[in-house]
Amino acid sequence: MSTLEPRRRNGDIEDTSKRKKRSANLPPTGPARFADASTTQTLADTIYQHLYRDITSMRLLPGTPISEQDIANARGVSRTPVREAILRLARERLVEVVPKSGSYVGRIPLSSLPESMVARSALEAITVKAATERATPSQLLSLKVLLEQQREAIAAKEIDVFFHADESFHATIAEIASYPGIWHIIQQLKIQVDRYRWLTVSLETIMEQALLDHTAILETMESKDADAAVKHMNIHMERLKLRMASDWDQYANYFIQDIDSSNFLQD
């Protein structure tokens, strides 16, 4: 059929002259059509994610050499996606690229910690206040379950389980507050702080203190005392801040001393 002939629909001729044409520049309508990350992931993305997890969880310690060729050989790929992943990590201050020397797992910049803690404390206060005011009994029960998971992890000395249950506790508070996006912001803010936390989380006294802090937060949430919940969250954040200020020098080789350590975390 010629493209100039009228089109048929259900046996009848369709008058295409009356059909409204959509402008190429009109904004989208209907359901969201965002790209699915799982279908658009590149080799560089996969390598980036693998290195990111190993660096942020301190499985790769600061100063560890990163060989593009070794990674490429292990994954059966060229060096190009490996280089892309490393450059991306370098932009995020997780890898240091030293000219004529090579790439190394980045040290933790001291200057990144104060700002991160101030911002996180402010955002955590917002979420715990809203969560306290809005929490249902079933939502509070989900927080209790996470506390039990932390307690069991301490007894079993399962550090990874404890760390992830700890993270889930804070993430769930943000969800209860109806501010899940805030938790995503916090995760980005605290990348370098978390690297420090992985250095020390294996200490049983630290895990036990975190559990006590979480228990106090939950108890005030259960009593619907939003001000007290914010107070206990601030204490929890301040405890981490003071711990970093007092013992960072035990791991001095893992840090970039780009601020005066005598003023470290004074704010």
**pLDDT of 201-228, one tens digit each?**
877 789 999 999 999 999 999 999 999 9
The answer to whether residues 172 and 93 belong to one domain is no
CA angle 212, 56, 259 (to 5 degrees): 85
Residues spanned by the domain of 45: 40-106
Structure tokens at 259: 């601020």
The answer to whether residues 187 and 240 belong to one domain is yes
Task: Tell me if 174 is assigned to some domain.
Answer: yes
Task: Tell me if 263 is assigned to some domain.
Answer: no
Q: What integer pLDDT is reported at residue 249 of this predicted model?
A: 77
The answer to whether residues 93 and 135 belong to one domain is no
- With a CB cutoff of 8 Å and minimum separation 6, the contacts of 165 are 146, 149, 150, 153
The answer to whether residues 196 and 220 belong to one domain is yes
The answer to whether residues 151 and 229 belong to one domain is yes
| Size (the chain), residues | 267
List pLDDT tens digits, range 30-56: 777 766 555 567 999 999 999 999 999
Phi-psi map region of 58: left, alpha, beta (phi>0 left; psi -120 to 50 alpha): left
Task: Tell me if 173 is assigned to some domain.
Answer: yes
HSE-CB at 244 with a 13 A cutoff on CA atoms is 28
| Mean pLDDT value of segment 59-85 | 95
The answer to whether residues 132 and 234 belong to one domain is yes
Among 106, 128, 161, give the residue marking a domain's end. Answer: 106
Q: Answer yes or no: are the C-beta atoms of 170 and 240 closer than 8 Å.
A: no
Among 56, 81, 106, give the residue marking a domain's end. Answer: 106
The answer to whether residues 78 and 131 belong to one domain is no
Task: Tell me if 9 is assigned to some domain.
Answer: no
Task: Tell me if 34 is assigned to some domain.
Answer: no
The answer to whether residues 243 and 129 belong to one domain is yes
Bigger pLDDT: 165 vs 5? 165
Helices (H), the chain: 37-40, 43-56, 68-75, 79-91, 112-134, 137-156, 159-176, 180-189, 191-200, 204-222, 226-247
Task: Tell me if 121 is assigned to some domain.
Answer: yes
Res. 27 pLDDT band, cuts 50 70 90: confident
- Distance CA(47)–CA(74), nearest Å, equals 11
Structural domain count, the chain? 2
Q: Is the pTM of this model over 0.85?
A: no
Among 50, 75, 106, give the residue marking a domain's end. Answer: 106
- With a CB cutoff of 8 Å and minimum separation 6, the contacts of 107 are 62, 63, 96, 253, 254, 255, 256
Task: Tell me if 30 is assigned to some domain.
Answer: no
CA angle 166, 242, 247 (to 5 degrees): 95
Instruction: Please report, for the domain that includes residue 165, its CATH number.
Output: 1.20.120.530
* Least confident residue range of 34-38, 69-73, 114-118: 34-38
The answer to whether residues 136 and 98 belong to one domain is no
Whether 140 has a pLDDT exceeding 70, the answer reads yes
Instruction: Please report, for the domain that includes residue 73, its CATH number.
Output: 1.10.10.10
Structure tokens at 60: 């790769």
Task: Tell me if 83 is assigned to some domain.
Answer: yes
